[in-house]
Structure 1
Amino acid sequence: MATEALSAPGARADRDAGWRDVAAVLGARALTRLRIMNRAIRPLAWVLGAIAVGFWTLGQIAGWWEFTVAAIVIAITVALCALFLIGRTAYDVSLDLARTRVVVGERAVGALTLANRGSRAILPSRIVLPVGSGRGEFGIQRLSPGEEAEELFAIPTQKRGVVKVGPVSVVRGDPLGLFERAHRRDEPVDLFVHPRTVLFDGQSLGYLRDLEGLPAADLSRDDVSFHALLEYQPGDDLRHVHWRSTARTGTMMVRQYEETRRSHFVIGLSRSSADYSMPEDFELAISAAGSIGLRALRDSQRVDMRVQGRELPAATGKQLLDSLAAIEESKPRDGGIAELAGAVSATMPLASVVVLVCGSSVRSEDLRLACSRLPFGARALAVVADTTAAAPSLRRIGDADVITVGALDQIPLALQKVLA
């Protein structure tokens, strides 16, 4: 008996705890439902509800039946509009972009296909498609079972960036706009709007002779990668005479080598807002970095790109342009071109060529400091983007060549001056 008396309070406590857990779960579900219902109510519905309550109260207190009738009419109207939310819009939604990568200004189009795969007709609905910071709306008529509807749309590409298209939402609502319920039906798709770039030919900037590099197609009289034997010419180094072949042929023969090179092409692109006098200069700098990077990639060089705070993927042309499409200006507190050069030297000490890209607000002293921080032995080149410049110019700061360009098509001519 004593054991039963002791166990009864414990069992009661367990039951109370179980009921509290059940109540908490039910309360959470009810709260979730209320939030969903609250999102479906538009501001106009709240206003009409308040007017109906006010009219009803005034009619009951003052005895004016006109206000009572008006309150009843408003309440019935609101209730009828709420009935439009009943049911589900079971569309099979497909969002397709003709191209997921375009250049600034190119046409970008997409198609939105909605199909009724169910056994019942779907009432007219409204489709909302977010595109970047804006959104497009489409009215879909009644769809019978097995019927499809397709909507074509164009995406603005006047600005470089990554435009998020979607997710598609199917909106159910009433004719008066009192209630609206949205069902998300598809995942968003990223549209990469690449910067403009220019193609150009010319000698590569990214190679340095290095005994630990890889053999190249160019032949040399002095290196470590043996290629062939040639007849001695006046001026050849006697250390490379192949005496065994000389004794066998009776003609002095010397070794010929393939030139070994290493190539690590690094682009340091400043995105500090303090380095640019206007937004157009920043866009020109991005286009210049993309053009030079693509040239290096076509030369089969290893390309790395760095901005303030992080390294950007640039192993392929697609990765390079995708990275440039997503770049945004940073605050001056993140550092300027000198801090960027220091980060390049710390993370990429074996770079053979470093190209620093910045704006016209960078002083010559800052450029000199930045170039002095670059890896030892690397060839330094600075590109200054200044849209007010009428023609490209070349100057020398320390051991670095500094070119100033005012337009994208000036880059090939400016680089020719550097290689001249």
Structure 2
Amino acid sequence: MTDGSSPRSTVTREVTGSSGGSTVTTARTRLVGERTGWSADALVTVVRAGRAVGRVASRAGRAASSVVTPLGWVVIAVAPLSLGAGYLWGWTELVLAGAVGVALTIVAVAYLVGRIRLHFQLVPPPVRVAVGDEAHARLVVTNPTSRRSFGTVVDLPVGERIVPIAVPGIGPGDRVEPSVALPTDRRGRLTVGPVKTVRADPVGLVRREYHWADAAEFIIHPRTIDVPSTSSGLVRDLEGRPTRDLTVSDLAFHALREYVPGDDRRHIHWKSSAKTGTFMVRQFEETRRSRMLLALSIASVDFGSDAEFELGVSAAASLGARAIRDARDVDVLVSEITPEFAKRAVVAVRPLPTLTPNRLLDELAVVEHGPAALGVVDVARLASDAVPGVSVAILVVGSTVAPRRLRTAAAAFPASVEVIAVQCDPDTVPGRRSLGSLTVLTVGSLTDLRRAIRGGETE
């Protein structure tokens, strides 16, 4: 231990052991250096006090910055400067301006005194609604105190919007339940809440927000229509329809051929074998297993307007949900979008969940078109490679896709695949035409889609 008037003046401690001596250096050691006695203690005390004051000032600064607006900081900074300059130079106007600033600051602080004693509970809307449906959020405001509350205004964030809700004065133990209509004019995911109240002065120098209730999310599904079952009409169920592919075991009998080693003896046709003197076995046509592919183009160049794209999303949602309810094997694909600053284009398609109709509609609720998405031709090629065994492929596009591009997209699928193009154009006459083996349905509304899928004439 070094010499000194107090044990606390010790700055180093020698530790000896089997590994040798070592010196432990502390913050006090670095601070006081060679000082000892009362000077070292005084220096340490001053530093500790300074740090404590700094922590208090930091907390106070954070608290002030959370309630003082930029205008408030300007007034707080300018008011004392105006008073000082006015008294120094004898300018009455500056003194008056500084006095007004100080008075406004005092009044603004008075608006923050007290607390709101109301209890807020947000009753969210249904988790899922369709475009155009009514959706309301209800706010339950309760006054648990023994005094009547004053009227106030609370803010309810809805997506990127702030909806003000006027809450009247509430008697002791009473409650009110104001309701607010939520926007459902466009599909998407919206976050409602949290409810917040704001205490602010009329000038806008201070502002304090109180968050009361948790936020809730609701999904606005694309508008859909109940189309006919995919087992009837234009998109009929291909289950059990024979193809030209031959197999040794199925339901559709095709012909007889000579027995070869390895054939199943159960398929030997004994009568024909007796007549020919050679074992003859049955040969069958392979039946087609129905698998539907639904590809939605989200390239901006494939649609003439936002209205066309929204109709395309609704058409894909209607067809996909119908196929899922029919228990059909269905794959729904959209293009991946290349990020804005990507070094190279993303050439891929993204499968959407088809476990339930709601899962599919949840994903379609947030699908957006973009200039960096793949066009329908590339989507068809990638989809054909990604989903084998497709029997029916439906391509959903807009009015800007020319017939030549539609034929090129259809050619990406094997000849055994029935390809249907649903071309969405609200400004044209609906109809149905054939481009070789490709069937093109032009629809101007979801009602036209239902008529086209039913197989009748569009109006």
- Shorter-chain TM range is 0.7 to 0.9
User: Following TM superposition, by how much is the alpha carbon of 1:149 offset from its aligned partner in structure 2, in angstroms?
Assistant: 3.2
Aligned partners of 2:110, 2:132: CA distance in 1, in Å? 46
Q: Could you say which residue in structure 2 is the equivalent of 1:219?
A: none
CA RMSD of aligned residues (A): 4.1
Unaligned runs of 5+ in 1: 213-221, 227-234, 245-258
User: Following TM superposition, by how much is the alpha carbon of 1:203 offset from its aligned partner in structure 2, in angstroms?
Assistant: 5.3
Aligned partners of 1:375, 1:163: CA distance in 2, in Å? 41
1:319 aligns with 2:353: no
Alpha-carbon contact 1:125-1:171 (below 8 Å) kept: no
1:112 aligns with 2:139: yes
SS at match of 2:76: helix
User: Following TM superposition, by how much is the alpha carbon of 1:237 offset from its aligned partner in structure 2, in angstroms?
Assistant: 8.2
User: Following TM superposition, by how much is the alpha carbon of 1:136 offset from its aligned partner in structure 2, in angstroms?
Assistant: 0.7
Deviations 1:250-281 (A, max 9, x none): xxxxxxxxx97633322111111111111111
Alpha-carbon contact 2:230-2:322 (below 8 Å) kept: no
Aligned residues: 386
Instruction: Write out aligned runs for 1:10-21 (5 A).
Output: 10-13=24-27
Aligned partners of 1:144, 1:83: CA distance in 2, in Å? 25
Alpha-carbon contact 2:230-2:326 (below 8 Å) kept: no
Letter matched to residue 303 of structure 2: Y
1:49 aligns with 2:107: no
TM-score normalized with structure 1 length:
0.76
Q: Could you say which residue in structure 2 is the equivalent of 1:414?
A: 452
User: Following TM superposition, by how much is the alpha carbon of 1:145 offset from its aligned partner in structure 2, in angstroms?
Assistant: 6.3
Q: Could you say which residue in structure 1 is the equivalent of 2:111?
A: 84
SS at match of 2:157: strand
1:200 aligns with 2:212: no
Q: Mean alpha-carbon deviation: is it higher for 190-199 or for 112-121?
A: 112-121
Q: What percentage of aligned pairs have identical amino acids? A: 32
SS at match of 2:351: strand
1:277 aligns with 2:283: no
Alpha-carbon contact 1:303-1:315 (below 8 Å) kept: no
Equivalent residue for 1:328, pick from 354, 361, 368: 368
Letter matched to residue 61 of structure 2: L
Name whichever structure is richer in strand by fraction.
Answer: 1
Q: Could you say which residue in structure 1 is the equivalent of 2:325?
A: 298
Instruction: Write out aligned runs for 1:95-244 (5 A).
Output: 95-116=122-143, 125-141=152-168, 146-201=173-228, 204=231, 205=235, 207-209=237-239, 224=250
Aligned partners of 2:385, 2:67: CA distance in 1, in Å? 55
Q: Could you say which residue in structure 2 is the equivalent of 1:403?
A: 441
Aligned partners of 1:132, 1:101: CA distance in 2, in Å? 15
Deviations 1:76-117 (A, max 9, x none): 331232132244446543222343322222222120123345
Alpha-carbon contact 1:394-1:414 (below 8 Å) kept: no
User: Following TM superposition, by how much is the alpha carbon of 1:289 offset from its aligned partner in structure 2, in angstroms?
Assistant: 0.9
Name whichever structure is richer in helix by fraction.
Answer: 1
Letter matched to residue 195 of structure 1: P
Instruction: Write out aligned runs for 1:330-349 (5 A).
Output: 330-331=370-371, 333-349=372-388
SS at match of 1:208: coil
Aligned partners of 2:106, 2:289: CA distance in 1, in Å? 76
Aligned partners of 1:282, 1:211: CA distance in 2, in Å? 35
Q: Could you say which residue in structure 1 is the equivalent of 2:430?
A: 391
SS at match of 2:388: coil
Aligned partners of 1:286, 1:71: CA distance in 2, in Å? 61
Aligned partners of 1:59, 1:236: CA distance in 2, in Å? 109
Q: Could you say which residue in structure 2 is the equivalent of 1:68?
A: 95
Q: Could you say which residue in structure 1 is the equivalent of 2:261?
A: none
SS at match of 1:262: coil
Alpha-carbon contact 1:125-1:141 (below 8 Å) kept: yes
Aligned partners of 1:139, 1:376: CA distance in 2, in Å? 64
SS at match of 2:177: strand
TM-score normalized with structure 2 length:
0.70
User: Following TM superposition, by how much is the alpha carbon of 1:33 offset from its aligned partner in structure 2, in angstroms?
Assistant: 5.2
Alpha-carbon contact 2:229-2:323 (below 8 Å) kept: no
Aligned partners of 2:353, 2:315: CA distance in 1, in Å? 17
Aligned partners of 1:349, 1:393: CA distance in 2, in Å? 28
Aligned partners of 1:278, 1:265: CA distance in 2, in Å? 28
Alpha-carbon contact 1:85-1:181 (below 8 Å) kept: yes
Aligned partners of 2:221, 2:163: CA distance in 1, in Å? 23
User: Following TM superposition, by how much is the alpha carbon of 1:299 offset from its aligned partner in structure 2, in angstroms?
Assistant: 1.9
